[in-house]
Amino acid sequence: MVDLAGSNGFSRRKFLGTITGAAALALIGLERKAYAERAPSEHLVADYIGRLCYNENPLGPSPAAIEAIREQAELAHRYPDWFAESLMSALAAKYNISGNNIICGSGATEMLRLCAMSFTQPGKNVVVPNPSYSQFPSDAQFFGAAVQNVNLNRNYVVDLQAMRSRVNSNTTAVCITNPNNPTGTIVDPAQLEDFVDDLPSGVVTIIDEAYLEYISDRQYPSAIEMVRSGKNVVVVKTFSKVHGLAGARIGFAVGREARISSMRTRQYIATVSRPSLAAALAALDDDYHVYRTVDLATTAKEFCFQQFRDMGLEYIPSEASFFMVDVRRDADNVRAQLANLGYYVRTGWGMTNHLRVSSGIIEEMKGFVVALSRILLGNADRLEVGSARFTELFQAAPNPFNSSTNIRIFLPSMRATRLEVFDIQGRLVRKLVDSLLGAGEYSFTWNGTDDSGHSVASGTYFYRLIAGDDAITRRMMLIK
């Protein structure tokens, strides 16, 4: 890490080479006002400027997809294809694969849930990287499987060799998100294929490719090629990211016919609406929108990475539509202060000094960098009472944890406050506080026991804060 002059570890002069402090903040305010005055065709909504937390497409859906949704409005009283047959046919043609190898549903969310329902068993286990996208392991645990977590390597990349070493006779599935979420890193495709070939024949490899289109190497192959060659792989994809249809909820999976058939037997009918089907079909043909989306994400990342280098901040090079930056202090506090300035980012995954930031339009990224510099140059290590407008539930630390973890909250005013821990099935495990608390920051420790004092099992747990009208839930992992 570059050690630049200044008590905060980086140089104000170096950072302000392209953006100047107070003047830039004033400009950002004018730019934010200008967004609200743009025509609807620009797909920008004023309330969403600074929303850099959910990896949404800042350009919105393809214009063709929007028009397709409008055209379907008058047919909303008619049921859609029961199993999205029209979309499956289009996808089969696009990926040169049989329709029997494809299943469509309500986003990658439904696909991963069906994978957990189909490829896990009580008393068996699944192997996953950590940190990574947590839905499949959480669903697997919900259906009774044990979860074997394998740490990323020193470069924040999925460690395929370490994952292979954790596979045993009780393993039914492994799941890899590629590019990985939250780090944005990718695995070598040849090594991934060797990994799949080396697994026992009964172990299915689930590969979540939600962000594959953002990879800079245009020759990087989709794991669908492994499906074509008959390998025991299920590939999960989504229209939420590069196609900008997160709110339409459309996803699909590709795999061996027997694997897909197993998933279909567990699926409800008509989980994709008629307008969403039409939008997905239109989006498939709009290559230019995909190009614009990827180009914007690349430009946004390159801009931020240059600013981070000037600031002396380390970041994880990302092949996705988001990135992580090490702010060298409690990232939860930085996140909270960014929210006060109108920029919403994510923290968690046990990476206590890192922010995860979605790529947005360039003016938005400039505003984010200016806001971040304002916080870091101010040496604002902790929130002060009265400095925040929002209730905050910070990431448990450490997370994952073995014996105990610390949970901090912040209240902007006096609130009736309840902080509780729940298991993966939604059952109350432990009540940490239930009382009237004044404005300020509070800290609570959970030692992995229930309200009766008995130790609980390893696994995923949720902690929920209810403070006045605010309700916030986060996830943590106990590993014994």
pLDDT tens readout for residues 445-473? 999 999 999 999 988 999 999 999 899 99
Q: What pLDDT score was predicted for residue 43?
A: 43
Q: What pLDDT score was predicted for residue 17?
A: 40
Q: Beta strand pairing status for 459-467 and 470-478?
A: antiparallel
Q: Can you tell me the mean pLDDT for 275-299?
A: 97
Q: What pLDDT score was predicted for residue 387?
A: 53
Q: Alpha-carbon distance 300 to 296, whole Å?
A: 6
Whether residue 449 contacts residue 455, with contact meaning beta carbons closer than 8 Å, is answered with yes
**Each residue's pLDDT tens digit, 361-389:** 999 999 999 999 999 988 444 444 445 56
Q: What pLDDT score was predicted for residue 251?
A: 97
Amino acid present at 328:
R
Q: Alpha-carbon distance 480 to 316, whole Å?
A: 29
Is the model's pLDDT at 293 over the cut of 80? yes
Q: What percent of the chain has pLDDT over 70?
A: 88
DSSP for residue 350 = T
Residue 436, strand partner residues: 416
pTM of structure? 0.84
Question: Nearest CA to 57 among 148, 198, 65, 432?
Answer: 65
Whether residue 219 contacts residue 189, with contact meaning beta carbons closer than 8 Å, is answered with no
Burial class (CB within 10 angstroms; exposed 0-12, middle 13-18, buried 19+) of 443 = exposed
If one compares 397 and 418, the residue with the highest pLDDT of the two is 418
**Each residue's pLDDT tens digit, 420-435:** 999 998 999 999 999 9
Q: What pLDDT score was predicted for residue 402?
A: 87
Assign 340 a pLDDT band (cuts: 50, 70, 90).
confident
Q: What pLDDT score was predicted for residue 8?
A: 38
Looking up tokens 């495709």, which residue turns up?
189
Residue-range domains of the chain with CATH:
12-56+295-377 (3.90.1150.10), 64-284 (3.40.640.10), 392-478 (2.60.40.4070)
Q: Alpha-carbon distance 285 to 166, whole Å?
A: 42
Is the model's pLDDT at 123 over the cut of 70? yes
Is the model's pLDDT at 125 over the cut of 70? yes
Is the model's pLDDT at 5 over the cut of 50? no
Q: Alpha-carbon distance 115 to 118, whole Å?
A: 5
**Each residue's pLDDT tens digit, 322-335:** 999 999 999 999 99
Whole-angstrom Cα Rg for the chain: 23
If one compares 21 and 98, the residue with the highest pLDDT of the two is 98
Q: What pLDDT score was predicted for residue 132?
A: 97
Assign 341 a pLDDT band (cuts: 50, 70, 90).
confident
Q: What percent of the chain has pLDDT over 90?
A: 79
**Each residue's pLDDT tens digit, 225-257:** 999 999 999 999 999 999 999 999 999 999 999
**Each residue's pLDDT tens digit, 42-85:** 444 445 678 999 999 999 999 999 999 999 999 989 999 888 99
Is the model's pLDDT at 34 over the cut of 50? no
Q: Alpha-carbon distance 357 to 311, whole Å?
A: 17
In the structure encoding, which two tokens stand for residue 412, read together? 């902007």
Looking up tokens 């699926």, which residue turns up?
267
Looking up tokens 């609200």, which residue turns up?
36
Is the model's pLDDT at 200 over the cut of 90? yes
Is the model's pLDDT at 35 over the cut of 70? no
**Ranges 2-11, 126-135, 147-156, 209-218: which has the least confidence:** 2-11
Q: Alpha-carbon distance 283 to 289, whole Å?
A: 8
Residue 441 to residues 87, 355, 419, 438: CA-CA distances in angstroms?
A: 50, 21, 13, 9
Is the model's pLDDT at 24 over the cut of 90? no
Q: Alpha-carbon distance 306 to 292, whole Å?
A: 21
